[in-house]
Amino acid sequence: MKIGEIAQRTGASTRSLRYYEGLGLISSERRANGYRDYREETVAVVATIKSLLGLGFSTAVIADVIACENRGLSGSCEAVRDRVGELRDEMEARADELLRRRDALDASLADPVVRDALLARAESPRV
């Protein structure tokens, strides 16, 4: 399957696919004409990459996850599983902090004095 077809089927740009290949996240064979030829499984791998990137995972962690998927979850993949758990905990801590900030902002906006001061500042011309 050519790179354009993979791009169309996955929604990833050809530039992203070349980048993923450069990182070793996906692979292709080269045809006689020099074009990349991808296997059908690459579609699922790219979907996994995009999903994990969307969750905020680094490409290094994604490479480890894909390596574990390729050889099956074993004892050597426990460190990857632990790292993914740590990333989840970090996300949860950030989400909790954002909720605290939102609640503090809501409380401030509920105070008429603070709300009026913020509105007056927002409406005043900037110098």
Q: What does the pLDDT read at residue 51?
A: 94
Q: CA 64, CA 79: separation in Å to the nearest integer?
A: 9
Any idea where the domains of the chain sit in the sequence? Answer: 1-72, 76-127
Give the residue-averaged pLDDT of 47-57: 94
Does the pTM of the predicted model rise above 0.75?
no
At 73 the pLDDT is 55
Which of left, alpha, beta for 18 (phi over 0: left; psi -120 to 50: alpha)? alpha
The residue-averaged pLDDT of 58-75 equals 81
User: Which of helix, strand or coil describes residue 30?
Assistant: strand
User: Residue 24: which region, alpha, beta or left (left: phi > 0; alpha: psi -120 to 50)?
Assistant: left
User: Which helix (H) or strand (E) segment is 36 a member of?
Assistant: strand 36-37
Q: What is the CATH number of domain 1-72?
A: 1.10.1660.10
**In sequence order, what are the beta bridge partners of 30?**
36
Model confidence pLDDT, tens digit, residues 88-114: 999 999 999 999 999 998 998 899 888
